[in-house]
Structure 1
Amino acid sequence: MYFLPLVTHSLEHFYTASSELHNFPEFMVVGMVDGVQMVHYDSNIQKAVPEKDWMKQTDTEFWEKEKENFFYSQKSFKAEVANLKQHLNQSGGVHILQYMYGCSRDDETEQTEGFGQLGYNGENFLEYDMETLTWKSRKPQANFMQDEWNSDISRLGFWKNYFSQTCIDCLKKQVDNGKSTLMRTVPPSVSLLQKTPSSPVTCHATGFYPSGVMVFWQKYGKYQHEGVEHGEILFNDDETFQKSTHLTVMPEEWKNNKYQLVTKALCQVCSRICRRNTGFSIISNIILSLYSKKASYQSQ
């Protein structure tokens, strides 16, 4: 199992505008750095609210500017929803416009990337193309938006500058301000589980940070791909992460072969016994090292 150190940082904003969705703000914004929520805004409170102590230390001028930007976006998104309803011949009912954009930066290579997507009623409508620096339609119904957005030279200029400079500068600043949180490393708690001799063996790692995790099984030192199912990285309530990987093998194959987990993470050695329902014991040794880790996993 590989735990990769976080060298790529990201800044993301998620906008949601809705019509006729009762008991729900008409407009909302959530800003995140490295998957950690840093700010939110909605049409009910109409102010940018910092979510973390390190964000609260940012100067007042920054928050006033954020509030102005979000308030302007609130009005423009309301107009965009009306524009979509008109072009698509829609009248009443619930309609939702979602917009996600941001950037990422690799600390080692200094390579940067921008990304932007717009969705309407659960469908992907537009995506920003970093090669052509234009917006691309992903649905025939969105062709009119593609033409409108790409014919607006000032809009294209704004996004080109935002993705190449403004977003990256903001990302670097926020990562520096929040480095005690964003640059921390938390080792995982690892469990090895199997219900019956014929059911998959699950390696469940939880409570780790950052999220850059890849999980692999090895068999006699070689990567095992057959019979391996990788789960998604999921959030925990405490802003750490969890991930599971499942290995399916025949009982006799499992008994006669040695499987390993290899990782990069904080230094930790743990030995545990995971019992199947049959009472059969799986003895595992998991070694987590700052630079390299090997965990011998021998069925006994």
Structure 2
Amino acid sequence: MSLRLALMIVPADAEDERDEFSDTFTVVDASAPALSVGELSTQRGDGVFESIGVVDGHAQELEPHLRRLAHSARLCDLPAPNLAQWRQAIVVAASECPPGEAVIKLILSRGVEHGPTPTAWVTAASAADFTAVRHDGVRVVTLDRGYDLGAGERAPWLLLGAKTLSYAVNMAALREAKRRGAEDAIFVTSDGFVLEAPTASLILRFGGRFITTAPSAGILHGTTQLSVYEHLEAQGFACEYATIAASALTTADAAWLVSSVRLAVPITAVDGTPVATDPALTANINRYLLSPR
């Protein structure tokens, strides 16, 4: 994944209603040093981010990503981002993306320790080729997330519903999955309920019903999952949010991990138990996810 562009942003106040913000962000050399050693995004992971899929220069699901960026900032007590400013920066980044698939990242951190303002930047890069995994699927293992189903509402300071830069646990989970002979993981609560994957949402199919974990469980409300639900509902399927027992994973008629860049990836096995797949529907969903949205 080669970095093509980086934009450093001087964050504008959320109440700034001007129409033009191009003078508030600057294109910088993506290969050159740009952050202070006192930057809290690198020292403590103290910030939030979004990854936006780009197809042929079009940033997918832009508004849901901006809303979630604002939601994560609010949960982390960061200043509210000026969404018009970020929207303009994304347009510039998308214009530099090559034909085909790419990824834009939005990063908002608390800035330099004791500094006056947050630090913000946008990057654009070519996406990895996920064609094979979209077709062949992944084996997953279930991993205990270490808290029960009610932890998100009981302890909001855990920031379970925010997309933060603190991804060390997520990456450790993927390494553990590989040690166990799988390609990905699904987090479950200590009391036996399904949460999400380290970098994706989960969707299960039971007949004509599609189910995903309710966001109240302390997970990210996936932008791609929302888009897939809109697509499926338009085709007459029932789409639901629910509390899902971990035991339901191997009884589903099909299951997918969905995310902004990898798109819809079928699950082929859970903890070594084969899971049915639906290649035709997977292809249908991915055609939709690759269309402008």
Task: Calculate the TM-score normalised by the size of structure 1.
Answer: 0.30
Higher Cα Rg, which structure: 1
Higher RCO by CA contacts (8 Å cutoff, separation 6 or greater): 2
Greater helix share, 1 or 2? 2
Greater strand share, 1 or 2? 1
